[in-house]
Amino acid sequence: MDRVRLGKSNISVSKLCFGTLTISPLQKNFSIDKGADLLKSAFDMGVTFFDTAEIYGSYPHLKRAFAGNPDVVISTKCYAYDEQTAKKSLELARQGLGRDVIDIFMLHEQESELTLQGHKKAIDYFLKMKQKGLIRSFGVSTHHVACVDAAAAHAEIEIIHPIYNKRGLGIADGSIEEMRAAIKKAHEAGIGIFAMKPLGGGHMCRTPAEAFDFVLGSSFIDAVAVGIQSEQELADNIEYFSGNREMKFASSTERKIMIHDWCTGCGTCVGACKSGAISVINGKAVVDQSKCVFCGYCGAACKDFVIKVV
C-alpha cells in the first residue's frame, strides 16, 4: 500500500489508518491476543498507521502487536486540560503502548477557539515534550467545523483528525459543505488531515464503495481512519484503498447501540454524546440511531455499564 505524508509534517503513513476503537472495550471488546493478531495482520498487509485514544482502552492490543516496531505510526489522543493531566496522559501512552516516542499526540474532541484556549496549558506541555523528542507531531481531533477553522490558525497544530463523510453524520455545528471548506483551507495551510468515520460510524456499511469514494476523492484528505473488526473487513478495505475500485465488499457489518433494562436514567450519557443522539425518556436513556455515530463514548461514561456498541 502506498504511503502518504501528513501535510508538512515529516510523518509518512499508509493511506488507510486502522481505527482501533472497534476492537476496544467500548465496542467489540477483543481480547489482547485477538486484537493484536488482527493488528499484526493489517501491518503484514501494508497498513502502517494506527489510531487509538486513552479512552478506548486499546493500548494493550497495540503494545502486544507493535512494541518496538519502528515502522508503525501510532496516533493517540486524550482530554488533558493542564500540565498535570497532560503529563499523566503522555506517560500513560508511552507505558501503555510500549513506545518511548509517541508519533502523533492529539487533544481529543476539541470544539472551537475557546476550547483550544481552555486547554492551553496542556498544549504548551505537549509542545515542550515535542521539543524534547517525546512526541513527533501534535494535533487535535474534532467533530466541529469551528475547531477546524480555529486550528488552521495555530502554527503549533500540525495535524487535524476531523469527522468527514458523505452524509455529514456526526458534524456537530455545520454542514458537510462547511466542513469540507474548513478542512480544505487547513490542508492548504500545510496541516496534515486524516479523516475519521468515513462510513458514518457504520450507517453506510451497506454502501462502502460510495462512502469511501467520497473521502478518497478529496485531495485535501491525506489518510482515512476506518474502524475494522474482522479479517474480512481488513482484506476488503486494504484492497479498495490499494486501488481496486471494481471489487465487491464481502463484509457489511452494521452497528447499533444497545441499552440494557437496568438503565436508571441518570443522564450522564446525554452529556457524553457529542452527536446529540441520546435523551432520557420516561426514566430511561433512549438513542436516536439516525444521529448516533457509534463511538461508544456514552458507554465509557456510564457508571452502570448499561450502554454498548454491538
Return the percentage of the chain with pLDDT > 70, whole number: 98
Phi/psi at 75 (5° precision): -110, 135
Question: How is residue 220 written as a grid cell?
Answer: 485535501
* Tens digits of residue pLDDT in 84-135: 999 999 999 999 999 999 999 999 999 999 999 999 999 999 999 999 999 9
Instruction: Tell me how many domains the chain contains.
Output: 2
Residue 238 scores a pLDDT above 90: yes
Residue 294 scores a pLDDT above 70: yes
Q: Domain end: 216, 241, 266, which one? A: 241
Co-location of 149 and 292 in the same domain: no
* Tens digits of residue pLDDT in 248-262: 888 666 677 778 888
Give the DSSP per-residue string, 149-195. HHHTT-TT--EEEEB--TT-TT-SSS-HHHHHHHHHHHHHTT-EEEE
Tell me if 3 sits within 8 A of 49, measured CB to CB: no
Co-location of 115 and 261 in the same domain: no
* Tens digits of residue pLDDT in 67-85: 989 999 999 999 999 999 9
pLDDT at site 180: 98
Co-location of 201 and 275 in the same domain: no
Instruction: Supply the range of the domain harboring residue 81.
Output: 3-241
Co-location of 178 and 302 in the same domain: no
Co-location of 194 and 170 in the same domain: yes
Name the average pLDDT for the chain: 93
* Tens digits of residue pLDDT in 24-76: 998 899 999 999 999 999 999 999 999 999 999 999 999 999 998 999 999 99
Residue 20 scores a pLDDT above 90: yes
CATH of the domain at 279: 3.30.70.20
* Tens digits of residue pLDDT in 173-218: 999 999 999 999 999 999 999 999 999 988 888 899 999 999 999 9
Co-location of 275 and 139 in the same domain: no
